[in-house]
Amino acid sequence: MWRFSAIGKTYKAYDFFYTVRDTFISRVNFSNFEPDYFIRKVNHAKSSTVHEYQFNDGFRKIYSFVKQEDQPFIRDTLVWEPTVSDMLNTVYDFRNYNFDGLKKNEQVNFKMLVDNKTEDLYFRYRGEEVVKTRNGRKFRCHHIIIRLLGGDFFPDGEYMNVWFTADQNRIPVKVETEILVGSVNAILTNVEHIKYPLTSEIH
């Protein structure tokens, strides 16, 4: 199994105004990249939510467990539709797209498990751009905008921007997205043990 994790938190200087401590963990099958398990723990100020999903490949079912603050536990069984993945697995799976074959503003549809439902979403290809990191490195990148659904974390609309290296690695160099209480920005600092040459870097 592959295991992915992502952690989001506010800078300590901002904790006095609004504290964010979010954790995302995804486990996927090594052979076909299908999800096996996903948990999302969201803690914003005094609000907390836990979404936990177990994927059953044999019965093509998703067993869900959701807990929101003082609300009762919600347990559910969902039909696992083809190509449906969790949030973190979907982001990694974007790296398999052949962005060179897309036209500017072309829309690519996908399905994702969001808040105990399977949702039809899309990303829009915005073309190739040059991105500069904080340490001065420059990369030719494919820019996409992902359509988000309104919920306990994101607003509704085309608010997530991601730039992937324009080479076979398709490494996410930069991510910008709006959230309900502000915005999130992430930028690449370093890469190691990549499979292909980093031909997108501009020297």
Of 86-100, 104-118, 153-167, minimum mean pLDDT range: 153-167
Structure tokens of 67? Answer: 């807990």
One-character DSSP codes across 150-190: -SSS--SEEEEEEEEESSSS--EEEEEEEETTEEEEEE---
Give the largest Cα separation in the chain, rounded: 56
Give how far Cα 144 sits from Cα of 124, 138, 183, Å: 6, 18, 17
pLDDT at residue 157 is higher than 80:
no
pLDDT at residue 192 is higher than 70:
yes
Please state whether 115 falls in left (phi above 0), alpha (psi between -120 and 50) or beta. Answer: left
For residues 170 and 97, what is the distance between their CA atoms, to the nearest angstrom?
Answer: 9
Note the pLDDT of residue 150: 66
Share of the chain above pLDDT 90, in %: 52
pLDDT at residue 169 is higher than 90:
yes
pLDDT at residue 124 is higher than 90:
yes
Highest mean pLDDT among 98-107, 155-164, 180-189: 98-107
pLDDT at residue 152 is higher than 60:
no
For residues 92 and 70, what is the distance between their CA atoms, to the nearest angstrom?
Answer: 33
Where are the chain's structural domains? Answer: 2-202
What is residue 132's three-state secondary structure? strand
* Residue pair 181/148 in contact by the 8 Å Cβ criterion: no
Region 174-187 average pLDDT: 76
Look at the pTM and tell me if it is higher than 0.85: no
One-character DSSP codes across 16-84: TT--EEEEEEEEE-TTT--EEEEEEEEEETTEEEEEEEEEETTTTEEEEEEEETTSPPEEEEEE--TT-
Structure tokens of 56? Answer: 């059953």
Region 107-119 average pLDDT: 91
Region 1-23 average pLDDT: 82
For residues 10 and 18, what is the distance between their CA atoms, to the nearest angstrom?
Answer: 8
Provide the mean pLDDT of the chain. Answer: 88
Of 21-25, 31-35, 46-50, minimum mean pLDDT range: 46-50
Note the pLDDT of residue 68: 85
* Residue pair 166/140 in contact by the 8 Å Cβ criterion: yes
DSSP state of 103: P
